[in-house]
Structure 1
């Protein structure tokens, strides 16, 4: 069993999710990549323990995170059982359902049948009685929103989730969902969306403005644009990079000469600030208080420690924000 000390909370900043009582660490650990069956269990364990020992109390999963789907939940379940079972009440564990998980008509999207069955399966893999946050993972235009939100409400009433969240929603749908969840008297506290210097969709589709107005939190995934907003690709594509070894989500054609020039310009600005491009990119996501937490991925513990440097990163000036816009818009 892992031995942890209370001092781990001293250096972390915890931010409230909107106007709820729930606080998340400014940096959260995501399990989208590198926690599947293709990874090394010992490395996974060390990443989780490094995160927890440095005040990262929030671990974010989904039913389909792998590979294979379900593997990330199983691996975290083992780590919790073997290392962190004594610390369950100090952890926020979140999971999601909404993407394809099993064959047939009941293993995808937003039906009550799928969401509640998936939550039961996730709890079994994690070895937990409840998750702290259960998300609907994506909008489903073919299922009535009332049905999907009703399923989330049932998850809370059953005691299998404490809070609910929405992921990959846009502003107008978020507004409707919030009204339905308010009627259900369900603690809906957080939106999870992709957000980075290079991807500002939530500024264009109303999500960021609506979440702020309705006092809901935002947690940003892919804040480093899957590694593009780091020093990883400054000199081309390394052979051990995700582009070369995985290719499911990040492709070589994402790294155009124009994009590479932008990355180098941003890297120069970060150097002038005395920090890495990754640190500056995380600071940018957190710049205005609308984002509760940045969700970082990692393949080794040292990357998590690097990401935590954002906690000591100075605020961006108006001039620096203008330069970032010039290199990214």
Structure 2
């Protein structure tokens, strides 16, 4: 009897920024497990802001193809193997996409060792690409503990990891921004920022100026109004690391912040980064991050949506931010 997988495909492209109704769930027979491959039953699927532009356009990766399964990372257990490197029952991180069962190349699957304290989905979040992105971004920024750092989207998977890694290295002043009083309390009480800014509460640049005399490093997850506020509050010679610009995803916003000339006036550097350009840093990242996770010094919330039927709601939460903390996953358990 054939093994059947339920998969999420892109049936049509979105009509606007808030349109996530173009997904469909289909059932397909799982291909035979040929040599060098394993069959994985996934327990959690990743939803990432970087996936949103790919619904409509080529970015650093090709846009999602109509009729194909949505590409993403996932975690799960091996249920059939044709490769000596992995055994039935092993937990793995893989890139089999939005499906509950996936045949994947064993060479591309990473063996993970979950515990009660470190559940499997941690490798989609703080020990996965978001955590590595934070680690790489701080390296690209040449961050030191003497720098005043502002992290936008600080309640998200990447932003919260940036804050905690910086604080674990002895950072004196780390500012985090998020939307709403509840998220700001989370930033102060859990993530450990020195000042939390609610970007919905008033003028953002004024709020940053109230928190510090000037920024040395801005870690940008939002773009748009946040980048504009950072340009207005950077110290001379400051560094901006551009990781994401979710405020402008799916829109035709302005070509640039209105105060882009501050790059000249303040002699700033601004660097775009993709974590996939720095995968050689993964071992160094895990060497630093795993002990921090095990000790509770590097934590991340997980926002869960239940079942494949919830993928549209999960995507929408990335833009609205309402109720979202940390890493967003589709829970298949």
Q: Taking structure 1 as the reference length, what is the TM-score of the superposition? A: 0.29
From the two aligned structures, give the one with the greater strand fraction.
2
Instruction: Please say which structure displays the higher CA radius of gyration.
Output: 2
From the two aligned structures, give the one with the greater helix fraction.
1
Q: Taking structure 2 as the reference length, what is the TM-score of the superposition? A: 0.29
